[in-house]
Structures are given as structure tokens and as C-alpha cells.
Amino acid sequence: MSALIGVMLRELGSFFRTPVGWLACAIFAFLSALFVAPQSLVPGEPATLRAFFGVGHWLLLFVAPALSMRLIAEERRSGTNETLMTSPASDWAVVFGKYLAACCFLLVMLLPTLAFPLALEYASDPDYGPILSGYLGLVLTGFLYLSMGLLFSALTSSQVIAFLGTLLFFVALAFVSSQGAQYAPEPLDGVLRALSIDARLADFARGVIDTRHIVFFVSMSLWITSLAVVPLEWRRWR
């Protein structure tokens, strides 16, 4: 546990000590504000953050891989994985420490967007149910993106490949789970729809907290993060 906390704190500190972290925060806040402002505060329309949650997960699709691409690939590139692998820390502690750090940073990155509900509160009387569930959906999606980014980062020493691999995986998943499901025979179409992140997020944005969605995001994130241990173990014992 001590090693996991050590890795997590070091990684979290590294997000704030390097420009990548601050840049990701700034870009996410700026772009989400750019999309949200004209669509959330329309006179005569209900005050909601649906526009933000609609665009937020697409922004995360770019920002989360940018955060996760360096998690393990950078250690390998700089050679610091050598001192990490010769310490008594287990590969599980290393992987989950890094994953938790990225998740914590994602939460920090979402903090400035709390200005949006505050602005809605100032301008009207928003319904907080969909806002809270929408944030939950966004956070869970971000955690899922980060886990896949971590897996790609463990598979390659190139940060660019880790970034593009994660991005392309989720773009392909979005395409397959929507377009592919339309043409797939039964029961494959049902399986493909179940993999859809968009559909689950739409429920969260409407204020529906379905435990199946939560189980999907949490279990997928943990499973993919656990998979990231395999390349590390492989390198240690091959």
C-alpha cells in the first residue's frame, strides 16, 4: 500500500509540475466553456448542462489519452522504470498508483467546470438532479478513458502511439456500438449496443442513475487497468 501511495503522489505531483497537466486543465475548461455558454443559457429554455455533458465526453476523449499516454511510456523512455522495477514495489501497486493519480487529476481538471452550475444558479433555477448525474457520468467515462490510455501506455514506449491508440479505440467503439449495431444480426447487435458509451451518458445527462451503467464503467475501468499490469509483468519475467 505504501508503494501504491508513493507512486500515486509522485505521479499526481508530476501532473502539476509539468506543463501537460496545466495545459490539459486550461484546454478542457476553455473548450467546454466555449461550447456550453451559448447553449446552456438560452432565454426561455430550461437551464441545464446537457450541452456540456454532451460535448464533455468528446473533449475527454482527447484530453484523457493526453494525460494517460505518458504514465508508463515516459518511465520506459526516460529509464526510470529500471529503478522502479528494481524496487520492491509490485507491478499492481505501480499500475494502480498511476491510475489513481490520473483519476485524481481528472477530478481536479473538472473543478473549474463547477463554474457552469454556479452560473446557472445565478441566472435561473436549475434542476440539480441531472447536473449531479451528468457529472457522475462524465467522471466515470473519464476514468474508463484513462484506464484504456494506461493500458496503451504500458504496451508501448511511444507516447504518440499510446495517445492515438486510445483515441482510435474509443472512436472505433463509438462507431461499432452505434452504426455497427444497426446492421449486426441478433444477438450481436444487443452486445454492441451494450458497449455504447454515448447511450449510457445520455441516461446520466437526463438524470437517470442506472446501477447497470455504474457497474459497466467501474468494472470495465478496473478490468482494463488490471490488464495494464500484464505488459509490466511480461517485461519483468521474459
Partner 1 sequence: MIALRDIHKRYARVHAVRGVSLEIPKGQVVGILGPNGAGKSTTIRMIAGAIPPTEGSVSLDGLDSVGDSVAVRRCIGYLPEANPLYPEMRVIDYLRYRTRLFAMPRSGRSSAIQHAMERCKVDDMARRRIGALSKGYRQRVGLAAALLHDPPVLILDEPTSGLDPAQIAETRSLITELAGDRTMLLVSHVLPEVEKTCDRIIVFAAGTVRADGAPSELMKTGTPRFTVECSAGLKEALGSVPGVASVETEHLKDGFERHAITGAPDADPREALFEKAKGTGVTLRELKREVEPLERFYLRLVERAQREDAR
Looking at the Cβ atoms of 33 and 89, the one nearer to partner 1 is 89
> By rule CB under 8 A, what string of x and - marks binding of each residue 51-80 to partner 1?
---------------------------xxx
Helices (H), 45-180: 50-68, 73-78, 80-85, 91-110, 115-123, 128-155, 159-175
With CB under 8 A as the rule, give the number of residues binding partner 1.
26
Cα separation, 209 vs 200, whole angstroms? 9
Minimum gap (Å) between residue 74 Cβ and partner 1? 10
Q: To which residue does cell 463554474 refer?
A: 115
Stretch that binds partner 1, among 12-20, 165-173, 203-211, 214-222 (CB under 8 A): 12-20
Interface with partner 1 includes 18 (CB under 8 A)?
A: yes
Cα separation, 97 vs 91, whole angstroms? 10
Cα separation, 217 vs 225, whole angstroms? 12
Cα separation, 155 vs 184, whole angstroms? 31
Per DSSP, the three-state class of 237 is helix
> What cell was used for 171?
472512436
Looking at the Cβ atoms of 86 and 211, the one nearer to partner 1 is 86
Those residues whose C-beta lies under 8 Å from the C-beta of residue 110, and which sit 6 or more positions away, are: 28, 135, 138, 139, 142
Q: Which of 84, 132, 136, 220 binds partner 1 (CB under 8 A)?
A: 84
Looking at the Cβ atoms of 85 and 104, the one nearer to partner 1 is 85
Q: Which of 82, 121, 210, 233 binds partner 1 (CB under 8 A)?
A: 82
Interface with partner 1 includes 43 (CB under 8 A)?
A: no
Kindly list the distances between the CA atom of residue 190 and the CA atoms of 60, 101, 186, in Å, as whole numbers in the listed order: 26, 35, 7
Looking at the Cβ atoms of 87 and 219, the one nearer to partner 1 is 87
Minimum gap (Å) between residue 87 Cβ and partner 1? 4
Interface with partner 1 includes 236 (CB under 8 A)?
A: yes
Q: Which of 55, 62, 90, 220 binds partner 1 (CB under 8 A)?
A: 90
> What cell was used for 72?
508508463
Cα separation, 113 vs 132, whole angstroms? 13
**Chain positions contacting partner 1, by CB under 8 A:** 2-3, 5-7, 9-10, 13-14, 17-18, 78-80, 82-90, 236-238
